[in-house]
Structure 1
Amino acid sequence: MLIATHSGKFHADDVWAVAVLDIVFPGCDLIRTRDPEKIRAADFAVDVGGIWDPQSGRFDHHQKGFDGARLSGVVYASAGLVWKEHGARCVEIVARAHAGYDISPEQARDIAYAIDNDLVQYLDMADTGAARNAPGGYGLSAVVSGFNPTWIDEQQAGDVAAADALRLQRFRRAMDFMADIIANAVTYRVGSMRAVELVRQSERLEDGRLLLLKNGAMPWSTVVRREMPKVLFVIGYHLGEQRYMINTVPANTENFEARKDLPEAWAGLRDADLAAVTGVADAVFCHNGRFIAAAKSFDGIMAMARLALADELPGARRTANE
């Protein structure tokens, strides 16, 4: 199959759109042209051709009378048009390839909607002039624009054909970059979705006041705060850190207050100093804010957790914020 997009300078919206189609329909060829005959002959026309018709693979928004917009009122550009049609399928494919999970069509639609809300709509806004960049002063739209050759690059290319070849090469580099952005956006959300299930299934110890995670790196704070009012501390093994951690639980989202802080006597201590205070030989550290501490072994972190549960000092100022 063949994807056609416009020649000349490229933008984040057409790069995103072509990257999505390349994921959903792997092995497509790509041409960058404004030749009407070549555009008509392509299976997909992105950001060029003057037609919006998903059924025939047409995803342009420049034509007179175009009125495609989200329910929020944000007008579509080519990134949003392609994502609207193929985003959920793209999410399913990326979730399987990069996160190793098969997700349901409903989950894929929810994730695709979240990515549109957090990211894709801003690419469209930047392209249509509704916002300068997407988002921020040096957001994704500006970064992708930087992949375009400069006038010096084109001058050094020597002729039109060489300059076009250079621009196509840079477009493909931008596509690879955008594919990584898509993969990260999907896997982050798949991980968050899967973490909710695993946190809910995790073992509770010490009369329900302590939650034990098999993987301490997974996000847990929202579900624990909302659904587990009795839990005061969360412990788990962090593979990257090669140690066990104990975290306090946020009392709310408004400040750094915890349901219960780690003991005041631990604040800012490390290694031998912390071991002397706790009696835990493999204690590693306690943050000065008393919202996180570590030990090398499970027995060590459990001993610290029991000490923290027994400590009667009131909750103080800080907590882990995930």
Structure 2
Amino acid sequence: MASPANKLKSPPFTIGTHNGHFHADEALAVYMLRLLPEYQDSLLVRSREPELLEACDIIVDVQGQYDGTKHFDHHQHTFSETFSPDFNTKLSSAGLIYKHFAPRIISQRLKLPEHSPAVTTVLNQLYRDFIEALDANDNGISAYPADVKPSFNAKGVTLASVVGGLNPAWNEECSDEQHDARFVKASNLIGEVFVNKLDYYGKAWLPARDFVISALQNRKSIHSSGKIMVFETSIPWKDHLSTLEDELGIPDEEKPLYVLYGEGPGKNWRIQAVPVSKDSFVSRKPLPEVWRGVRDEKLSEISGIDGGVFVHASGFVGGNKTYEGVFKMAEKALDMA
């Protein structure tokens, strides 16, 4: 959705943003714009001079305006835009550019029609699992209630902190040109992460959905209880399973407890306990306590199942040398406390 003025111009167009200290949101916003053909070779103006910025074709994270065509700032007091009614997080410049331009970006990258259901699914998932956190970070929104004290400090390893760390230190000499070069480096860094995530959701995560649907529908042919699902290989199944269980209205007593999958031709098989939610470390039914932290022959001896490989100390995952062995592990685990 380019500025109407762009229709009268030929590329390269110009992107404007503020100079000085940069953040992850405008660094990604600029990168996303440059994924579009009209901005692929765009010039970048980093300034706080209104005249210089208004001469640009599109302006992000500065000027105190949002119109969805040329101005994409979120700092004005009246701003309250969210990605959709399903989200409460106020957008940053990253979320604004994503909201307006990501359908085209995803469509081009995945070679799918812009308004296809697949593009919409990836659009929403990528926002939920990546962009929203950047919006929240830039707007000072915490992921946790104020009375929750974290077990450790993770701020130094967030993507936003890594991008911010590319700014010059307070006591470091840095010219405007050098600072601009650092911004480009930061933009490329976070942009590559964005593209990798887009590729994952579009080319790996989304195709896995059909396999999860099939496994969920056929699980009672695997075991009469319907508590065991099987995949020939490891696929991203947790998100899809959680969503499909809700969509299909599967009652708790009929939900699967264990997922079995192969590690590759001629390799071992894994059994994984289904978590209570897709991001939880708590399992619906962990593998038996007596198996946990035990490996190889000792595991085979304790479980009474040949081919034992391991069971994790927390009981969320285990392994056996064969499908038959891992299936027996699941059967026994269903019956044990």
TM-score where L is the length of structure 2: 0.69
Q: CA deviation at 1:308?
A: 4.5
Contact 2:163 2:186 in 1 (8 A): yes
Measured at CA, do residues 49 and 294 of structure 1 come closer, stay the same or move farther in structure 2, by a change above 3 Å?
same
State the AA in 1 paired with 2:311: C
Whether 1:212 and 2:212 are equivalent positions in the alignment is no
Q: CA deviation at 1:198?
A: 1.0
How far apart, CA to CA, are the structure 1 residues paired with 2:305 and 2:275? 25
Whether 1:108 and 2:119 are equivalent positions in the alignment is yes
Q: CA deviation at 1:9?
A: 1.8
Q: CA deviation at 1:171?
A: 0.5
2:93 to 78, 81, 85: 78
1:233 to 254, 258, 263: 258
1:199 to 203, 212, 228: 212
What secondary structure does 1:23 align onto? coil
Q: CA deviation at 1:104?
A: 5.6
1:150 to 169, 178, 199: 169
Measured at CA, do residues 54 and 272 of structure 1 come closer, stay the same or move farther in structure 2, by a change above 3 Å?
same
Q: Which has the higher mean CA deviation after the structures are superposed, 18-27 or 133-142?
A: 133-142
Q: CA deviation at 1:303?
A: 3.0
Cα deviation code 1:180-219 (max 9, x no counterpart)? 3323543454444433321122364244554220222432
How far apart, CA to CA, are the structure 2 residues paired with 1:27 and 1:180? 17
Measured at CA, do residues 80 and 289 of structure 1 come closer, stay the same or move farther in structure 2, by a change above 3 Å?
closer
Whether 1:34 and 2:48 are equivalent positions in the alignment is yes
What secondary structure does 2:16 align onto? strand
1:223 to 218, 241, 248: 241
Partner of 1:319: none
Q: CA deviation at 1:285?
A: 1.6
Partner of 2:317: 292
Q: CA deviation at 1:148?
A: 0.9
State the AA in 1 paired with 2:62: V
How far apart, CA to CA, are the structure 1 residues paired with 2:113 and 2:186? 28
Measured at CA, do residues 277 and 176 of structure 1 come closer, stay the same or move farther in structure 2, by a change above 3 Å?
same
Whether 1:175 and 2:193 are equivalent positions in the alignment is no
What secondary structure does 1:165 align onto? helix
Q: CA deviation at 1:18?
A: 0.8
How far apart, CA to CA, are the structure 2 residues paired with 1:37 and 1:140? 32
1:88 to 79, 103, 112: 103
What secondary structure does 1:305 align onto? helix
Whether 1:302 and 2:317 are equivalent positions in the alignment is no
Contact 1:231 1:249 in 2 (8 A): yes
Cα deviation code 1:15-40 (max 9, x no counterpart)? 12112112234332323233444433
2:27 to 15, 22, 29: 15
Q: CA deviation at 1:173?
A: 1.3
State the AA in 2 paired with 1:54: G
Gaps (5+ residues) in structure 1? Answer: 158-162, 317-322
Measured at CA, do residues 2 and 262 of structure 1 come closer, stay the same or move farther in structure 2, by a change above 3 Å?
same
Measured at CA, do residues 133 and 262 of structure 1 come closer, stay the same or move farther in structure 2, by a change above 3 Å?
closer
What secondary structure does 1:153 align onto? coil
What secondary structure does 1:52 align onto? coil
Contact 2:306 2:325 in 1 (8 A): no
Partner of 1:52: 66
Partner of 1:283: 308
Cα deviation code 1:254-278 (max 9, x no counterpart)? 95441xx656664433222234456
Measured at CA, do residues 262 and 115 of structure 1 come closer, stay the same or move farther in structure 2, by a change above 3 Å?
closer
Q: Which has the higher mean CA deviation after the structures are superposed, 193-202 or 237-246?
A: 237-246
Contact 1:13 1:127 in 2 (8 A): yes
Contact 2:287 2:317 in 1 (8 A): yes
Measured at CA, do residues 73 and 231 of structure 1 come closer, stay the same or move farther in structure 2, by a change above 3 Å?
closer
Contact 1:89 1:108 in 2 (8 A): no
Measured at CA, do residues 132 and 214 of structure 1 come closer, stay the same or move farther in structure 2, by a change above 3 Å?
closer
TM-score where L is the length of structure 1: 0.71
Contact 2:159 2:190 in 1 (8 A): no
**Number of residue equivalences:** 296
What secondary structure does 1:53 align onto? coil
Q: How does 1:248-259 map to 2 (within 5 A)?
A: 248-250=273-275, 256-258=283-285
State the AA in 2 paired with 1:34: R
State the superposition RMSD in angstroms: 4.0
State the AA in 1 paired with 2:229: L
Whether 1:2 and 2:14 are equivalent positions in the alignment is yes
Identity of aligned residues (%): 26
How far apart, CA to CA, are the structure 2 residues paired with 1:310 and 1:119? 39
